[in-house]
Amino acid sequence: RAVLGQLSDMDLRLLRVFKAVVECGGMSAAELELNIGTSTVSRHVKDLEQRLGLVLCRRGRAGFALTPEGERVHEELVRLLAAVDGFRDSVDDISARLGFSEPSAFRRAFKRWTGQTPGTYR
C-alpha cells in the first residue's frame, strides 16, 4: 500500500511546492516563483518528507541537492501533475461543450441525469 494513500488537495500543494523547489534550484528561488516565504517553502518540503517518510533533499551551507529518493519522487511527480492538469483540462472541455461554465455545475447536472457522480459512473 502506498504511503500517501489517497491524495488530498494539501498533498498536491506540498508536491507542487517541492516541484518548484527542484525546478528553481532551491528554496530561495522557489520563494520568488511561488510568492511565499522561504520558511513556508521549507516547512512544506519538510511536511512532504514526513508525509512520504523519505528525505527528498539536502539543504544547508553547501546548497540544495536532491537525494536519489528525491530525484525519483520528482520524476514521478512531473508525470502525476501532468495527468492532474490533463484531467482538469478534459473536464473543463467537457463542461464547455455541454454549456456549463463551471465544472461544479456539470457535476450537479450529471448527478441529476444519471443519479451518480462522474467519478462513480460506470
Q: What is the pLDDT of residues 29-54, one digit of tens each?
A: 999 999 999 999 999 999 999 999 99
Asked, for residue 118, whether it belongs to a domain, the answer is no
Domain count of the fold of the chain: 1
Using CA of residue 8, residue 86, residue 16, residue 76, what is the dihedral sign?
Answer: positive
pLDDT reported for residue 76: 95
Whether 121 maps to a domain, the answer reads: no
pLDDT of residue 112: 73
Any domain includes 119: no
Q: Flag whether 36 is in a domain.
A: yes
By C-alpha distance, which of 100, 101, 94 is closest to 118? Answer: 94
- Report pLDDT for 115: 73
What letter does residue 6 receive in the DSSP assignment?
S
pLDDT of residue 1: 44
CA distance 77 to 16: 8
| pLDDT score recorded for residue 46 | 96
pTM: 0.71
Specify the pLDDT at position 26: 93
Does residue 90 lie within any of the structural domains? Answer: yes
Domain membership of residue 27 (yes or no) is yes
Q: What is the pLDDT of residue 6?
A: 72
Residue 122 within any structural domain of the chain: no
Which residues make beta-bridge pairs with 66? 57
Q: Domain with 61 in it: what CATH number?
A: 1.10.10.10
**Ranges under pLDDT 50 in the chain:** 1
On whether residue 71 sits in a domain, the answer given is yes
* Residue 88 lies in domain: 9-113
